Amino acid sequence: MHDEALADFVRERAHQRCEYCQTPQAFCPDRLQIDHIIAEQHGGKTQAANLALACVADNNHKGPNLAGIDPKSGRRAWLYHPRRQKWARHFRWQGPILVGRTPVGRATIAVLAINLPHRVAFRAALMAEGVFPPEA
Ligand SMILES: [Zn+2]
């Protein structure tokens, strides 16, 4: 990402929080990253409609993946697309555990490893402080 204005736009649009696991920048030890929703490897462009804000953990686990396996059905499902889909349709919080409401949600949680124990523990600590999950 060399276009700082575009990166700033993506950060503001996302309200400075990860668009997958909702972790706010303010509580994240690393700077949130600009994610190509469709990876450049697959022809995804560096333009607002293909960019999302993602924490380092989510971005690293996502890599160039476009799809995953829904653990409930064992079938292939696309990953969540923050620009085309609504977060609340695909995910919900059960305490610090992120639950997938749809095949897309469940596949995304699996590929991005959103419920790894140390990540759940981190969110539990934020919840105990009353600063997570964010409103709406
Ligand atoms: Zn995240």
Domain boundaries, the chain: 4-128
Fill in the DSSP letter of residue 26.
Answer: G
Q: What's the pTM value of the predicted model, to 2 decimals?
A: 0.96
CB-side exposure of 40: number of CA atoms within 13 Å?
A: 5
Whole-number mean pLDDT of the chain? 96
pLDDT in tens, 95-127: 999 999 999 999 999 999 999 999 999 999 999
Distance 22 CA to ligand 1 centre (A): 6
pLDDT in tens, 41-67: 999 999 999 999 999 999 999 999 999
User: How many other CB atoms are there within 10 angstroms of residue 99's CB atom?
Assistant: 14
Whether residue 64 is preceded by a cis peptide bond, meaning omega within 30 degrees of 0, is no
Distance 32 CA to ligand 1 centre (A): 8
Distance 61 CA to ligand 1 centre (A): 10
Residue 117 parent element (H or E): helix 117-129
